[in-house]
Amino acid sequence: VPDNTFEPVDGTPDRVGALTRITVHTKGVDKGGKKLRFTARTTAVQRAERLALEYVEGAFRGTAEFTLTRLEDGGTRLVMFFRASPQGQLAFLARLVDVGAMHTRATRAAFGRLNQLLSTGTPAASAAGGAR
């Protein structure tokens, strides 16, 4: 995902209790612009099926859940549920603009780019079994 970076703080994200620092680069990595930083704690893991997180520090507080479902054609459906509230300066900005709509647009764009990468037969797609 070109606009987000993830930095493990305490263990790997696939371990319950692990912390991961997330940075959303609003104009893309290394392209300037505002950066939204927050920390997620892994709360549940079902390998190859589900990852649940709690946002515990930074620009958001709340939860997120990623689920993977195998499709009949051999692909994989990735779904994200994001239930979080903006904090700090982002909470102030949320009074002026629809942060939820901005998140939805950015997430759809990121998943669209991920789908393109995985379905074009790149090395990542080969390693992932061509998932989409």
pLDDT tens across 72-116, in order? 998 889 999 999 999 999 889 889 988 888 888 888 888 888 888
The CA-atom distances, in angstroms, between 15 and each of 7, 9, 51, 57, 123 are 14, 12, 10, 18, 26
Question: What is the architecture of the domain spanning 4-120?
Answer: 2-Layer Sandwich (3.30)
The confidence score (pLDDT) of residue 50 equals: 98
Judge contact between 103 and 90, C-beta under 8 A. Answer: no
Residue with tokens 């930074």: 58
Mean model confidence pLDDT for the chain: 86
Q: Which one is predicted more confidently, 109 or 15?
A: 15
**Cut 0.85: pTM above it:** no
Residue 34 has pLDDT above 70, yes or no: yes
Predicted confidence at residue 128, as pLDDT, reads 40
